[in-house]
Chains A and B, each alone.
Chain A
Amino acid sequence: MYAQMVKSEATNEDPAKLAAFQARIDAGEKIEPKEWMPEGYRKTLIRQIGQHAHSEIVGQLPEGNWITRAPTLERKAILLAKVQDEAGHGLYLYCAAETLGVSRDELTEALLSGKMKYSSIFNYPTLNWADIGAVGWLVDGAAIMNQVPLQRTSFGPYSRAMIRICKEESFHQRQGYDIMMKMAKGTPEQKAMAQDALNRFWYPSLMMFGPSDKDSVHSAQSMAWKIKINTNDELRQKFVDQTVPQAEYLGLTIPDPDLRWNEEKGGYDFSEPDWSEFFEVIKGNGPCNAERMEARQKAWDDGAWFREGLMAHARKRSAAKVAAE
């Protein structure tokens, strides 16, 4: 759920073809890039996979913010490895999207022009070292909730990318929790940092699942196509149920006075995040939207001479090769 609020596309195609396609999905078959697929399926997937890829790329920034200040060599190495994994996830996902007929450059331009989004969570700042723990524990934890079922998604390349990504994400989540343990069991200042991180990341993490979509027509279509596997509310509930005991173990307090166990439903009741804040963040008004986009734009603009230099050299080489033949 690095992909939020992905609007699914309507499809206007031959009903017989659509029915045959749906039958394949219902039978649990994987759809491969060269096979026929409805235009709406293709477009929705491009949007969803692209948004997920962009989230991995932008997601390097809040964590990268602490690489130069990591408190030990080992923590620095772990964080570097993690951010490197994220860039790698971005790469697999862009490749998966490319199989649907859209290039990485086109997707990058759509991100920079604001036509495509990335997850709202990366517009929140990382302010103390425990935030790096909280990002692993909560943000990666929330992402895993969504990505584990997506390993069974109907589109082959996306499903295979998810299988690889999930392995690494669960490692990241454990590393994040490990930082939280150190901080929560550390000096009073460290514990205060851990609580502060939880206070700031709790509601934005709940927002990662997107607003309730139980009555959404778009979601119903995506679920029928197995592009989406669970509703946002189901995943959010699962996340809260998993996370509350972990916070208790750390001796930290979830910033929700209304949080309580509901015996009847077998899960926690909890407060909704402030959805007006979520929509503002999506619109570009989160605490770090401007900085995140500026950083990506600068990397792209400053890198132009580098990319052109490599292309020019490749052209020279192939011209020289042709001349030699």
Chain B
Amino acid sequence: MDTVVDLDTALFEGLCRMGDSTLVLGHRVSEWCGHAPVLEEDIALANMALDLIGQTQLWLGLAGEVEGKGRDADALAFRRDVWEFRNLLLVERPNGDFGQTLMRQFLFDAWHQPMLKALEGSNDARIAEIAAKAGREVAYHLERSADLVIRLGDGTEESHKRMQTALDNLWPYTGEMLTSDETDRALAEAGIMAAPDSIRPAWESLVGEVLGEATLTAPEGAYMHKGGNQGTHSEHLGHMLATMQWLQRAYPDATW
């Protein structure tokens, strides 16, 4: 039996999926601040985190508007609990070593860039506009992360080993972002957002090319975790939110 999906509800959901992924990844990247392996990386990481937080403001701002219950981007970011978050499991993975952080970024960027490109064609002008703006930023993110994955994969024995380990660890979290559920399908049919499975060919070809050049091998037949974009998360997200939301929760009457 087909469930009837209410388009407004689906749109709110779809926007939270975009905005929560950028929020959670932006937060993870910002945890590196001042601790990167070289100064240029400190600057690049802060820059990426800044882009991702800026995109969050746009996606969640629009989500609040669509929902129409008076919640703004901050209310959505700081006052929802774990099960209400719709981010991909990949982006909530802890930073690990720099190789892990970088591989997570690349696997996400390789999805993010074609996804934004597809969203530029949305028949909702607000979505197309956000996607165009974010797309210009993400083109740089992808260029940088792909380049570093190649250089470190094909660097020293140690850097190769670290990048391969990162890939093995993160690979099982990549299936979710290329699989559509009924919310995705309803939004895609209405021409509002792109279905994740439509991104698969672009993602696979890009990732395949970069991993090849990096002399890295994707695990075959790995089990794929899922559930993040429906609100079932790993234990890690709760700890992140405890840190991120603490001030807002502790002093609910304050403005900042």
Contacts and interface: CB of A to CB of B under 8 A. Distances in A.
Contacts of A90: 39
B4 interface: no
A310 B41 CA distance: 12
B139 interface: no
Given A299-B37, A306-B37, A68 B159 contact: no
Contact of A68 (B46, B78, B160, B243): B243
A71 B155 contact: no
A74 B57 contact: yes
Which DSSP category, helix, strand, loop or mixed, fits chain A's interface? helix
B53 A84 contact: no
Contacts of A81: 46, 50
Q: Binding site of B, secondary structure by majority: helix, strand, loop or mixed?
A: helix
Contact of B78 (A72, A187, A299, A316): A72
B46 A87 contact: yes
Interface residues of B, number: 51
B34 A302 contact: no
Nearest to B60: A73
Interface residues of A, number: 49
A71 B49 contact: no
A23 B166 CA distance: 60
B251 A187 contact: yes
B155 A310 contact: yes
A307 B38 contact: yes
A308 B248 contact: no
Contacts, number: 144
B42 to A, nearest CB: 4
Q: Which of B34, B41, B244, B246 has the most CB of A within 10 A?
A: B34
B167 to A, nearest CB: 15
Nearest to B47: A84
Nearest to B31: A68
Contacts of A311: 155
B31 to A, nearest CB: 6
A187 B43 CA distance: 35
B33 A80 contact: yes
A71 B95 CA distance: 22
B150 to A, nearest CB: 8
Contact of B46 (A70, A84, A129, A308): A84
24 contacts: A57-B34, A64-B34, A67-B31, A68-B31, A71-B248, A71-B254, A73-B23, A73-B53, A73-B74, A76-B53, A77-B57, A189-B251, A190-B251, A190-B254, A298-B35, A299-B34, A302-B37, A304-B37, A306-B41, A308-B155, A309-B158, A310-B152, A312-B155, A313-B152
Given A187-B253, A190-B254, A312-B159, 7 more contacts: A57-B34, A72-B74, A72-B256, A73-B53, A87-B43, A182-B255, A306-B99
